[in-house]
Amino acid sequence: MKLRSRAWVLTVVLWVGMSVPVDSATPANPKVVHVLNRLSLGMRPGDIQKVEAMGIDRYIQQQLSPESMPETPALTKQLAQLNTLSMSPVALAQQFRPVGQGQVKQAQQKPNQQFARTTMQQAVEARLLRATESDRQLQESMVDFWFNHFNVFSGKGLTRVWVGAYEQKAIRPNTMGRFRDLLEATARHPAMLFYLDNWQNTDPKSPGARGRFQGLNENYARELLELHTLGVDGGYTQQDVIALAKILTGWGFRRTVQPVAQATDNDNGFYFDAKRHDFSDKVFLGRTIKGSGIAEVEQAFDILAKHPATARRISYKLAQYFVADQPPKALVDKMAQRFTATDGNIREVLSTLFRSAEFMDSKHYNAKFKTPYQYVVSAYRATGSEVSSPVVVQNVLQQLGMPLFGCQTPDGYKNTQAAWLNPDGMTRRLSFATTFSKLPSQSVNAVQLAQTVGDRFSTQTQQAIASSPPQLRTAIILGSPEFMRR
């Protein structure tokens, strides 16, 4: 839509440069606003007052222990209605394409497509419901973080029906546990195995090498090193990629429940096919791993999870997500040391981050630019609005360049300003703010909204709000530079 009003011209002009926020009549505690902006996906009405009453330290501790906060009955009931969330990967695959058919018959195409749409819609709805309604906001932020770190793309084949189960079973239970457990949970899930092709990874000389299982596939091994653990500068070589690919041969899935003797995670669908495995000895990152089958992967994961480069990479990415696009080296070092000392305990690393002087340094207040996902979710939270149509929200995210589960590349969506701050993106956000503020379900007034988000706007923003018609003021706030940041 065209943004012609004088109020929107003023809003766009604000992006030329941000002024130092000025105090309002009742300014919120800037530390409270900062903590809420970073740990949560956006402030809801009453959040500032709640944290001021309980104290920042207690709030952080509570968020670090999401299991201590029961979900509301309303949210629990809504999630329970999403029946595909409780389905196993095997059950999802069997319903999507019945086992035993080489080709899906024409009559099966329509039900397959409908089932795929349903599972995808329910995955989107579940994420949005939790993001906007759950009190476990740090966990929701960590789901956002880890899903991008271990990204899978819903547009690729069977991944479309597995993506919700992947988040539900592999990501969510491990957001604040041991990194080693999270690494293995994602590695064993069919969504990851299919997305990065490891299910086809086969020793070309093995008895099981036939059909589509004819050769070594390095895709997953390479991303496991470059993106999931060590990082591109982590000190590995192409020979390490090849060695890891050989270690991962036979590591795949089945669409049917297999007997325990066949080395499977039963209804999870994971399956290790020894007939396709390379049983030779391998040298991986300077360590010799004896050919022994599935145990080789466990040894490789142990090496990767304990590697100093992994500690640094995970710490850097967490600090970038929660503190600054270019996080302080001293903070990253402290987090990496804690990662190593606690055997990759994510909760302990986060605790070190949130209680650091660097995190609370005022120069980082409101300095992180929201991703489209964070921006849209924060608009719903700030106005107290319910996600009545997840499909509409997904369409908005699509227009903003960040549909849920829609990143095609394995590196996931970026969370830096450089990735999202551009003229087209700003125009689309302002259009969303205008449309969203007019929705019948969105009835909050500008005064309430300003109080919810801390009422700490620059002089320019305050002038833009004051000079605008009352019906535009909510949109001005949602489109302001301050609301675009966290």
Which pLDDT does position 11 carry in this prediction?
Answer: 45
Could you give the CA distance from residue 145 to residue 318 in angstroms, rounded to a whole number? Answer: 8
Range 437-456 burial, b when 16+ CB lie within 10 A, else e = beeeebebebeebbbbbbbb
Q: Is the pLDDT of residue 99 over 60?
A: no
**What confidence score (pLDDT) does residue 442 get?**
67
pLDDT at 175: 98
Is pLDDT above 90 for 21? no
pLDDT at 208 over 60: yes
Q: Which residue has the higher pLDDT, 20 or 270?
A: 270
Kindly tell me if the per-residue pLDDT of 347 is higher than 90. yes
DSSP string for 108-167? HHHHHHHHHHHHHHHHHHHHHHHHHH-S-HHHHHHHHHHHHHT---TTSTTHHHHHHHII
pLDDT band at 108 (very low <50, low <70, confident <90, very high): low
* Per-residue model confidence as pLDDT tens digits over 397-418: 999 999 999 999 999 999 999 9
Q: What is the pLDDT of residue 255?
A: 72
For residue 204, what is the DSSP state? T
Compute the distance between CA of residue 45 and CA of residue 130 in angstroms, rounded to an integer. Answer: 17
Per-residue pLDDT reduced to its tens digit, 270-325: 999 999 999 999 999 999 999 999 999 999 999 999 999 999 999 999 999 999 99
Per-residue pLDDT reduced to its tens digit, 232-272: 999 999 999 999 999 999 999 987 655 444 444 456 899 99
pLDDT at site 3: 38
Six-digit token pair at 81?
Answer: 């209605």
